[in-house]
Amino acid sequence: MAIKKPRAVRRTDALSKERIVEAAIEILDSDGEGALTFRTLAAHLATGSGAIYWHVANKDDLLAAATNDVIARVMADVPGGTRPREAIRTLALGLFDAIDAHPWVGTQLSRAPWLAAIPQIFEGFGSRLEGLGVPEGAQFDATSTLVIHVLGVAGQNAANARLYAHRTDRTAFLGEIAQQWAQLDPARYPFVHRVAAQLPEHDDREQFLAGIDLILGGIEAANPAPSPRT
Amino acid sequence: MAIKKPRAVRRTDALSKERIVEAAIEILDSDGEGALTFRTLAAHLATGSGAIYWHVANKDDLLAAATNDVIARVMADVPGGTRPREAIRTLALGLFDAIDAHPWVGTQLSRAPWLAAIPQIFEGFGSRLEGLGVPEGAQFDATSTLVIHVLGVAGQNAANARLYAHRTDRTAFLGEIAQQWAQLDPARYPFVHRVAAQLPEHDDREQFLAGIDLILGGIEAANPAPSPRT
DNA sequence: GCCATGGTGGAACGTTGTTCCATTCTCATG
DNA sequence: CATGAGAATGGAACAACGTTCCACCATGGC
């Protein structure tokens, strides 16, 4: 004879994919990617895991939705009217800052390549390349190189964030790495030795932008702009 | 009263970190990253998981060792004597091919930034930059851009491999993506529409190399080589 | 008033990384 | 040769996770 289980009162505020994604983003932002489980999420929403699965196919689906959310906000916020080269740099920095603020987005972007967020990023860079005078045949490679740079930095940033999640001091952390690099055989790793000293004090954001500028320089060098008077 | 458990005969061939890593690489290569668990590994080595933990700290440690193994082989195999620009392209292609052959290496590289493999890659690119006439102050940024490109493509490739692990036809798979892209609003995604057609037939390896060339072009444009006669 | 259907919550399952521990082997030392 | 300490082994057990399952509830159309 089954005992009637006392049921918790039904929630008044309806569950929805939006609310679930929102809660997931909160958890990811405040407690890190490791903290998001269907149990913590259910607790946060005061429900059970089964209810969540009614709105969301699985964890990948949830993470994809959360990532798209963040990226879509960035793409909407980036001002578009400026000159093409500036627009590309602004877009790149906007993406960097968003990923820096939400490291888990970096993990997602470098894990799920055909996310709905990707064409948005592609469009953002690619459409502005025309203004730089890049011929159509060269646009695909140029755009993909820019996108790869963003995704590459995103992945590395997220991995870093995972590593010094508990530490307070970023410089000290990089100092430890630099020390490891400095202990490698100087005969075989002369360059690494020279660079190790710059490691603790270098600025990820500036280095990211320097990369974007190098790529833009390469694009312009490969596709010399048509002179304005021809 | 504890029953004496009949013990399996002790292995004759000694376990060691090298043998464990070797077995892990075999599993990763033949059955994919998802197939490597401590249980499959133990079965493959005809032992228990506890024995493996005697030689290996945890799964991250194991994966790091396996990744370093593969990368060290690549770095050793790349011929070094050629002219700097060619040497950089050769090194980049060597890395690409290795990651293409072992997609799990891509996953690792984009997840664990301060892996022992990274300084090797840094050294490989950085040391050859000198020959291109890049001044010392610009070498860090230039090298990091090249490394990021490799790691970025590595991550995306690994993610792709994860996706069409079961499928046979790569072109058909990319065709599906292209179709999704083609269904986006043409007014908002004009560039993506144009590029979607090139997606199914494009060659990842060539596009990767095109990116390397763009970056190299940018490096050279930013640091004009000293004329041989001055 | 009823009942089909959309939605909920929590127990239960299978798999994973990791820990624990009783056991066995090796080998330096008496 | 005997012995004891430490290295090494193998498998049971644990906790946590993603996911599935199912008994239950609310509500709106008949």
pLDDT at position B4 is: 33
Which residues sit close to strand D, CB under 7 Å? A 2, 4-5, 7, 9-10, 36-39, 49-50, 53, 58-60; B 8, 10-11, 14-15, 45-51, 53-55
Which among A85, A88, A148 is the top mutation candidate for probing chain B, defined by the most B β-carbons within 10 Å of its own β-carbon? A148
Rounded percentage of chain A residues whose pLDDT exceeds 70: 92
d(CA B220, CA A154): 26
Other CB atoms within 10 Å distance of the CB of residue B171: 10
pTM above 0.75, yes or no: yes
Residues A30, B106: Cα–Cα separation, whole Å: 28
Residue A81 has a pLDDT of 72
Which residue type is seen at A93? L
Q: How far apart are CA A87 and CA A81, in angstroms?
A: 7
Q: Which residue has the higher pLDDT, A201 or B228?
A: A201
Q: What gap in Å lies between CA B199 and CA B177, rounded to an integer?
A: 8
User: What pLDDT shows up at residue B166?
Assistant: 72
**For residue range A76-120, what is the model confidence (pLDDT) as tens digits?**
998 877 799 999 999 999 999 999 999 999 999 998 878 899 999
Alpha carbons A182 and A193: distance in angstroms, whole number: 5
SS (H, E, C) B172-197: HHHHHHHHHHHCCCCCCCHHHHHHHC
Give the pLDDT of residue A169.
Answer: 81
Cite the DSSP H helix spans in chain A. 17-31, 38-45, 49-55, 59-77, 84-101, 103-111, 117-129, 136-163, 170-182, 190-196, 204-222
The C-alpha atoms of residue A15 and residue A191 are separated, in whole angstroms, by: 55
Count of C-beta atoms within a 10 Å radius of residue B22: 13
Task: Find the angle CA(A58)-CA(A10)-CA(A49) to the nearest 5 degrees.
Answer: 20
Closest residue of chain B to A223, computed from CA coordinates: B214
Q: Cβ of A77: how many Cβ atoms within 10 Å?
A: 9
Q: How many CB atoms lie within 10 A of CB A67?
A: 26
Per-residue confidence of chain B (230 residues) as pLDDT tens digits? Answer: 333 333 344 455 778 999 999 999 999 999 999 999 999 999 999 999 999 999 999 999 999 999 999 999 999 998 877 799 999 999 999 999 999 999 999 999 999 878 899 999 999 999 999 889 999 999 999 999 999 999 999 999 999 988 877 777 888 889 999 999 999 999 999 999 999 999 999 999 999 999 999 999 999 999 886 665 54
User: Rounded to whole angstroms, how far apart are CA atoms B165 and B184?
Assistant: 26
Q: B119–A181: do the CB atoms touch at under 8 Å?
A: yes
- The DSSP symbol for B19 reads H
* Residue B190 CB coordination number (10 Å): 15
State the Cα–Cα distance between residues B52 and A34, nearest whole angstrom: 25
Instruction: Measure CB to CB from residue A144 to each of B140, B181, B207 and give the nearest one.
Output: B207
Orientation angle between helical segments A84-101 and A103-111, nearest 10 degrees:
110
Q: H/E/C letters for each residue in B195-226?
A: HHCCCCCCCHHHHHHHHHHHHHHHHHHHCCCC
